[in-house]
Amino acid sequence: MGFLELIDVEKVFPLPKGEKYVAVQDVNLDIRENEIIAIIGHSGCGKSTLLNMIAGLDLATAGHVSLEKKDIDGPGPERAVVFQNHSLLPWLTVYQNIEMAVKKVIPELTSKELKEHVTHYVDMVSLDHAKDKYPGEISGGMKQRVGIARALSIKPKVLLMDEPFGALDSLTRAALQEHLMRIQQKVKNTVIIITHDVDEAVLLSDRVIMMTNGPEATIGEVLEVNLEHPRERVALQHDPEYIRCREAILSFLYEKYAKDDE
């Protein structure tokens, strides 16, 4: 019984001159409720395409993507997306960016409830001090935290993250991963995170989906990460399970499906 199911999913993009580009094909995946999934692969492996199909921003050209038995036929707030480049609206403050989403998705809130709700999510990502700042005035890491808060504030069933920390430096990235793990302990929802960072995948997820190289990319291997939450980055460095997972992914990416140009 799948919560989020992908059955024989295929995505074909038309090219000029009538040709076709098969981005992904034969993707079968069964995601449990409250599971954290990492999708990893080289660039061009169709992992973003996969995420977009779950988000509904792109539709599968064959097969089914369904959430709680309902086929996904477009985007919706029950599948919130944290975009790689945060995509905050630059003319709204941190608070207003979150408020705009909440107002639209949960319109029945009174103005007092709305304020409490938004403030709760601002606090969750520790941005109370910056809530009246504009996105142009805060750092990349802070912007991405706002993006996460905005996505969570609409209480999605699934949180989709497209390389959310890809554009950040490694220290900021580590801090944000910690942040995300802490939030996840509280919120406990289903998360799908696209990444090309091996440590990020192992640290955050319950299962790592490894994609073969495109075109015609598909799921190559699925790795169970048998580590208890909450996880501690430093302690894990010597944990045999962590090392096993890391090596499995590295071997997949750099031996079985090595890519020259990366």
Residue ranges in contact with another protein by CB under 8 A:
55-57, 74-77, 79-81, 83, 85, 87, 89-91, 100-101, 104-105, 134, 136-137, 154
> Which residue type is seen at 123?
D
Q: What residues does 30 pair with on adjacent strands?
A: 5
The CB-of-199 to another protein minimum distance in angstroms stands at 27
The CB-of-133 to another protein minimum distance in angstroms stands at 9
Return the number of the residue (23 or 202) whose C-beta is nearest another protein. Answer: 23
Return the number of the residue (22 or 105) whose C-beta is nearest another protein. Answer: 105
The CB-of-139 to another protein minimum distance in angstroms stands at 14
The CB-of-98 to another protein minimum distance in angstroms stands at 12
Whether 195 and 163 have beta carbons less than 8 Å apart is answered as yes
Return the number of the residue (16 or 74) whose C-beta is nearest another protein. Answer: 74
Return the number of the residue (2 or 76) whose C-beta is nearest another protein. Answer: 76
Return the number of the residue (7 or 106) whose C-beta is nearest another protein. Answer: 106
The CB-of-50 to another protein minimum distance in angstroms stands at 16
The CB-of-6 to another protein minimum distance in angstroms stands at 19
Q: How far is residue 260's CA from residue 262's CA, in Å, rounded to a whole number? A: 6
Return the number of the residue (50 or 101) whose C-beta is nearest another protein. Answer: 101
